[in-house]
Amino acid sequence: MKTFRALILAVAAVSSAAHAASTYTVKPGDTLYKVAQVNKMDPVALMKLNGLNSTTIQVGQKLKVSGATATASAPQAAAKPAPANGNAVIRTAASRYLNIRYVLGGTSARGIDCSGYTQAVFKQLGVNLPRTARSQFGVGRSVPRGDLRSGDLVFFNTTGAGVSHVGIYLGNGEFANANSYQGRTIIEKMNSTYWATRYVGARRVL
């Protein structure tokens, strides 16, 4: 009888632990990208599992992370590169700061410049970038143009004196940036004559 009772208690404990492992409570400093990494999930899968249409999460919010255990047993799955046609998480994060007016030295919704824009977007994803385009060109690892994927930082020489502009690659040949000529943050084509001839390189920080 004691053995049977012990078995029942053990089964109950395992069941309770499994249930606890299927949810994650958001803590201060968490971002959607960080939560996905901790639970070895793809950020897009985490958004779909929880019915999220934004990367914004709140402290105390409970997120479903079921399937994390299965993913943990195969860490190589979590290391797969983001789809070449664009990652929904990156695009959503980048879109939150679109159509903000361009202000040199700006870092807020009242006005923002190119590196302020990339810094704000990546902060949502749990990545702290340096303040200037030139400094951001020194973080992460270099990526060949033919291997660009959504979330890569793309850099340009717009002054003739080296790296002076940065944007975020979104996939499908598009990138988001704070454009001083257009006077706002917008999405543009990488292969336009202007940008194609001024492209310097890319860095991967995600």
Q: Would you name the residues annotated as active-site residues?
A: 114, 165, 177
3-state secondary structure of 65: coil
Whether residue 106 contacts residue 116, with contact meaning beta carbons closer than 8 Å, is answered with yes
| Number of Cβ atoms within 10 Å of the Cβ of 23 | 12
CA distance 70 to 160: 51
Residues 194 and 19: their CA atoms lie apart, in Å, by 54
Can you say how many angstroms the Cα of residue 63 is from the centroid of all Cα atoms in its chain?
A: 18
What is the sign of the dihedral through the CA atoms of 88, 90, 96 and 102? negative
Please count the other Cβ atoms lying within 10 Å of the Cβ belonging to residue 161. Answer: 8
- Could you count the other beta carbons within 10 Å of the beta carbon of residue 191? 10
Residue type, 42: D
Give me the count of residues in the chain: 206
